[in-house]
Amino acid sequence: LAEVRALIEVPVMLRLARTVPPERWAGLRPLAEATVRAASSGCRATYAEADRAFHSAVLALAGNQQLVGVAEELHRRAQWPLVGGGAPGGGSRAELIADAHEHTALLDALIAGDLDVVRSLVGEHFNGAE
């Protein structure tokens, strides 16, 4: 499921990186910060919700509700069960925090318009155990 998500989300994120203005990306900062807070709590279910909200908000910038719906369903299915290996980042608190910090780093690169960093971060994020 993570591989299917990557096939859908990575090209969309890279296209959005070239077309969405910095101020729109900056508007997603509260959602990225919410993933960091959720990860810091160590609660995998709370992190899963915050992670889905962030990814959905990013994809919503494409203006395609079908895309968002399909990606949300794949994301939800990839996160279950929340006990065991199905959670984002593998599930340890440290792994959740690292995964969450990828969201803030990605936003920083998107706001700066640094497409090389965006490409690298998106690739790393989807190649992880999310």
Domains of the chain with bracketed CATH = 2-127 (1.20.120.530)
Q: How far apart are CA 110 and CA 42, in angstroms?
A: 27
* pLDDT of res. 128: 63
* pLDDT of res. 129: 43
This prediction has a pTM of 0.86
With CA atoms as reference, report the closest residue to 130 among 71, 65, 57, 62.
71
With CA atoms as reference, report the closest residue to 113 among 16, 35, 31, 27.
16
35-56: b or e for each residue (b if 16 or more CB lie within 10 Å)?
Answer: bbebbeeeebebbbbbbbbbbe
Give the residue ranges of the chain where pLDDT is below 70: 80-91, 128-130
* pLDDT of res. 79: 81
Distance between start and end Cα atoms, the chain: 10
* pLDDT of res. 78: 84
Q: Which two tokens stand for residue 114?
A: 């640094």
Q: How far apart are CA 71 and CA 77, in angstroms?
A: 10
- Upstream peptide bond of 22 is cis (omega within 30 degrees of 0): no
Q: Which two tokens stand for residue 66?
A: 């079908």
